[in-house]
Amino acid sequence: MIECGRGPGGWVWTNHIQGFSTSGDRDGDGEMDPKYFLHEMNLSGFVIPASGRWAINPAYGSMLDNSFDIDNDTLMNQLEAPDRWNTNPVDDDTDGDKLPDGWEVFFSEQAISEGLVDNNSLNALGARGPMDPSMPDSDLDGIDDGQSDFDNDGLNRTHLLNRYCPGWNNPQDSECHIDPTTAAGKRFYDDLENYTNYEEFQNGTNPVLNDTDGDDWLDGSEVYHQDQDEDGMWSGWEYYFQFDPFDPSDANVDSDGDGYINKCENKWNTNPKDATSFPSQGELCNAFE
């Protein structure tokens, strides 16, 4: 390990003039660091090619590492190097924002190529895209990239208020099933107003285009109003209220004991987890609708 005159790590020999390449002083100890630290060469938990090899093998004559993607984040090792995206080649989420490095790179490059983000603004922030894989908060707004909504394709807050709290801006109307002035209510409206980058990743939608399939329906609303289990309840609504969007049996359960099944509460925009919130007189439904 010490034969090259260097400490432990992946020291890569360039030539007799330049010597060993370095990644700079990444740990701030005043000494030049190896190209890759030992933890960046750890095989544990990663898919190794059939021939069997180190994740990043600096040995002369070993197989080329640049074309491998050892952490399966769709970003080749050569693109994870310090002089490229400067990400960890054996960690699929270098900055810990719940978004895979390659996914962030792909859509950051799309946003830049389509003029959806200003390069001068990015440079001022020190970011290389709206989702820089080496920065957990690329726009420095205090919100991790995974929880940001770059393309603003969440549900319309005013429409949500009109649906779930009709009297929110009318002193003469006290009807309100999900109160935006309470902590739980604020969380409900805040969550649905933002269709986050992480949610886009989970649902396979585009985080930089607000209408991935071009059907004139914003992604966040379209995903919210899906009904995967065909039980008559919106999947986004089920997910928020902690029902199973893939189990139709919960539609006919009365979760809050107010005499109305969940499917009925979904239909009339009431709160299925609050016994004081239920459909008004004349708002009828049954399990067979």
For the segment 233-245, what is each residue's pLDDT rounded down to a tens digit? Answer: 999 999 999 999 9
pLDDT 10s digits, 24-33: 888 788 888 8
pLDDT 10s digits, 114-125: 999 988 889 899
In a domain, 124, yes or no: yes
74 with 115, same domain: the answer is no
59 with 138, same domain: the answer is no
As a dihedral over the C-alpha atoms of residue 186, residue 188, residue 192, residue 194, rounded to 10 degrees, the angle is 40
In a domain, 272, yes or no: no
Nearest to 100 by CA among 62, 54, 48, 146: 146
In a domain, 286, yes or no: no
Predicted confidence at residue 27, as pLDDT, reads: 77
* Residue 232 reports pLDDT greater than 80: yes
Predicted confidence at residue 117, as pLDDT, reads: 93
Q: What one-letter code names the amino acid at 261?
A: I
**Tokens representing residue 163 in the block:** 């649906």
110 with 181, same domain: the answer is no
141 with 230, same domain: the answer is no
In a domain, 283, yes or no: no
Mean pLDDT calculated for residue range 38-46: 54
pLDDT 10s digits, 151-209: 999 999 999 999 999 888 887 777 899 999 999 999 999 999 999 999 999 999 999 99
Predicted confidence at residue 61, as pLDDT, reads: 59
In a domain, 282, yes or no: no
As a dihedral over the C-alpha atoms of residue 146, residue 247, residue 183, residue 185, rounded to 10 degrees, the angle is 100
* Residue 222 reports pLDDT greater than 90: yes
- Find the angle CA(168)-CA(173)-CA(176) to the nearest 5 degrees: 50
Nearest to 9 by CA among 70, 56, 46, 48: 56
Q: What one-letter code names the amino acid at 66?
A: N
Task: Look over the chain and give the mean of its residue pLDDT values, rounded to a whole number.
Answer: 86
* Distance in angstroms (rounded) separating the CA atoms of residues 107 and 70: 21
Q: Give, in order, the Cα–Cα distances in Å from 224 to each of 139, 203, 259.
A: 27, 11, 26
* Distance in angstroms (rounded) separating the CA atoms of residues 65 and 46: 14
* Residue 37 reports pLDDT greater than 80: no
* Residue 260 reports pLDDT greater than 50: yes
Do 90 and 101 meet the contact criterion of CB atoms below 8 Å apart? no
CA pseudo-torsion sign 215, 220, 221, 226: positive
Q: Are strands 19-21 and 12-15 parallel, antiparallel or unpaired?
A: antiparallel
Looking up tokens 């995903």 gives 223
* Distance in angstroms (rounded) separating the CA atoms of residues 51 and 14: 26
Do 63 and 75 meet the contact criterion of CB atoms below 8 Å apart? no
Mean pLDDT calculated for residue range 258-263: 94
Q: What one-letter code names the amino acid at 44?
A: S
Q: What is the DSSP letter of 62?
A: S
pLDDT 10s digits, 44-87: 555 554 544 455 666 655 566 777 888 889 999 899 988 899 99
**Tokens representing residue 33 in the block:** 């660091």
Q: How many domains does the chain have?
A: 3
210 with 119, same domain: the answer is no
In a domain, 280, yes or no: no
251 with 174, same domain: the answer is yes
Predicted confidence at residue 119, as pLDDT, reads: 84
> Which structural domain, as residue segments, surrounds residue 6?
1-86
In a domain, 45, yes or no: yes
Q: Give, in order, the Cα–Cα distances in Å from 213 to each of 14, 17, 29, 45, 247.
A: 48, 54, 50, 35, 26
Predicted confidence at residue 1, as pLDDT, reads: 40
In a domain, 96, yes or no: no
Mean pLDDT calculated for residue range 217-234: 94
Confidence of residue 2 (pLDDT cuts 50, 70, 90): very low
Predicted confidence at residue 52, as pLDDT, reads: 46
**Residues 6 or more apart from 269 whose CB is under 8 A from it?**
163, 164, 177
Quickly list DSSP for 89-144.
TT-S-TT-SSS-HHHHHHHHHHHHHTT-S-HHHHHHHT-SSTT-TT-SSTT-SSS-
Which uninterrupted H or E stretch holds 197? helix 197-203
Q: What one-letter code names the amino acid at 113?
A: S
Predicted confidence at residue 55, as pLDDT, reads: 57
Q: What is the DSSP letter of 59?
A: S
